[in-house]
Amino acid sequence: MELQEAKEKIVEDFSMFDEWLDKYEYLIGLGKELEAYPEEERTEEHLIKGCQSRVWLCSEKRDGRLFFRADSDAIITKGIISLLVGVYSGRTPEEIAGDDFAFLDEIGLKENLSPTRAGGLASMIETLRRTAEDAK
């Protein structure tokens, strides 16, 4: 699936929910589906700063593409990072670094998080971007 297509699918999924609680159910589901995080990567270095809950993100480059793995001790946050990993894992660094991440606004994730949590989401995006820049 192309990046654009993956983002559109998420926007479409979210458009089915009228209630915020349903969006959370969906994110909790995504969080539970997330592949187990490698214990050896659960380090200070991979901890994303600026989140109220703890979030780890590590990456690996294979055949010119970046693959991400992530974890969080809070399940909704884990769902959010799972959503990001689902959309951006397996893309080229150029694709990720050049993306505007605007679909997150479209699904209302940013404005409906409290400032501390929006800060957390911003930190996650920033980490993805920086990782992609470094991997170019």
Partner 1 sequence: MFPALGEKVYGKPLVYLDNAATTQRPLSVVEKWRRMALERNANIHRAVHFLSSEATAEYEAARDAVRDFIGAADRSEIVFTSGATASINLVAFSFGERFVGEGDEIIVTEAEHHSNIVPWQMLCERKKAHLRVARVSDDGHLDLDQLSSLLSPKTRIVAVAHVSNVLGIVNPVKEIVALCHSRSVPVLVDGAQGIVHCKVDVQDIDCDFYAFSGHKIYAATGTGVLYAKRKWLDEMPPYMGGGEMIETVNFSGTTYARPPHKFEAGTQNISAVPTFIPALETARLMGEDSAVGKYILDALTSDSRITLYGVPRGTTDKVPVFSFSVKGVHHEDLALILDKMGIAVRSGQMCAEPLMDRFGVTGMLRASFAPYNTLEEAKYFIESLNRAIEMLL
Half-sphere exposure for 114 (CA within 13 Å, toward CB): 5
User: Of 83, 86, 82, 87, nearest to 99 (Cα)?
Assistant: 87
Confirm if 87 and 7 have CB atoms less than 8 A apart.
Answer: yes
H helix or E strand, kind and range, residue 129: helix 115-135
**Any contact of residue 36 with partner 1 (CB under 8 A)?**
no
**Which position among 10, 51, 87, 128 bears the catalytic label?**
51
**Any contact of residue 4 with partner 1 (CB under 8 A)?**
no
**Any contact of residue 33 with partner 1 (CB under 8 A)?**
no
Q: Give the residue, chosen from 53, 86, 110, 129, that forms a contact with partner 1 under the rule CB under 8 A.
A: 53
**Any contact of residue 123 with partner 1 (CB under 8 A)?**
no
Structure tokens at 108: 């209302």
- The stretch near partner 1 (CB under 8 A) out of 38-46, 67-75, 85-93, 127-135 is 67-75
**Any contact of residue 134 with partner 1 (CB under 8 A)?**
no
Instruction: State the DSSP string of 39-91.
Output: GGG-SGGGBPTT-SS-EEEEEEEETTEEEEEEEESSHHHHHHHHHHHHHHTTB
Among this protein's residues, is 51 annotated catalytic? yes
**Any contact of residue 24 with partner 1 (CB under 8 A)?**
yes
Q: Give the residue, chosen from 74, 122, 125, 135, that forms a contact with partner 1 under the rule CB under 8 A.
A: 74
Contact residues toward partner 1 (CB under 8 A) are 19-21, 24-25, 28, 52-54, 73-77, 114, 117
Residues designated as active site: 51
